[in-house]
A and B are shown apart, each in its own frame.
Chain A
Amino acid sequence: EAGVVQSPRYKIIEKKQPVAFWCNPISGHNTLYWYRQNLGQGPELLIRYENEEAVDDSQLPKDRFSAERLKGVDSTLKIQPAELGDSAVYLCASTPWGGSYEQYFGPGTRLTVT
């Protein structure tokens, strides 16, 4: 069974530029999460989807961040414009359904904003 797929693995951009990250969860997993992990910190939830519905986006900085999961499968997280403080690893995770608490993480996208 393929795991959670993310791309790109690394991204370097200048501040004020846009950037997008893509995630394809494990097949059949209805719940998808985007986390941000800063150096030396644990992952922090940005948004959670149940199928195509964003059910928890309370921690998503909505002035510059947006996300979508149009068909309830893969998802895109976008930052526009990026700031220096956005440099972090962006992790995608999925679970079979919302009541299953074992989250499987993708390899992450390491973003560097210069």
Chain B
Amino acid sequence: QKEVEQNSGPLSVPEGAIASLNCTYSDRGSQSFFWYRQYSGKSPELIMFIYSNGDKEDGRFTAQLNKASQYVSLLIRDSQPSDSATYLCAVLSGYSTLTFGKGTMLLVSP
């Protein structure tokens, strides 16, 4: 059973702070890793993906991958109240099959 683990939260940070969201996965054969944002009552929206070990930056978002530790994280710099949402980690194993974690709820207070 392929598993993706996330702390359910909520993770509370003040506006302007760095939010750090973490994810571990069980399948060493996993190839690609995705972060989705899901606002309450809405569908998931892809915000970042990473394939290689190291960091990948996109605006205020940085994804970090460590395949040896089976660990992927998402950093959100200068957090805004509009970033308040549930962040889903998803792992691609095999051909085109995503396994999602339960998500971490992020609350950014003004």
Stretch in A11-19, A39-47, A67-75, A76-84 touching the partner = A39-47
Q: Mark A33-54, 1 if CB is under 8 A from B, else 0.
A: 0000000111111001000000
Stretch in B12-20, B54-62, B63-71, B91-99 touching the partner = B91-99
From B44, B96, B100, B101, residue with most partner A Cβ within 10 Å = B96
Are A99 and B100 neighbours in the complex by a CB distance under 8 Å?
no
Residue B107 CB within 8 A of the other chain: no
Given contacts A101-B34, A102-B49, contact A44 B43 (CB under 8 A): no
Q: Mark B22-58, 1 if CB is under 8 A from A, else 0.
A: 0000000000101000000011111001000000000
Are B96 and A95 neighbours in the complex by a CB distance under 8 Å?
yes
Are A101 and B92 neighbours in the complex by a CB distance under 8 Å?
yes
**Inter-chain CB contacts under 8 Å: number:** 48
A residues near B, CB below 8 A? 31, 40-45, 48, 56, 91, 95, 98-99, 101-108
28 contacting pairs across A/B (C-beta < 8 A): A40-B8, A40-B102, A40-B103, A43-B44, A44-B100, A45-B97, A45-B98, A48-B96, A48-B97, A91-B44, A95-B96, A98-B95, A98-B96, A99-B96, A101-B32, A101-B34, A101-B49, A101-B96, A101-B98, A102-B46, A102-B49, A103-B46, A103-B98, A105-B43, A105-B44, A105-B45, A106-B43, A107-B42
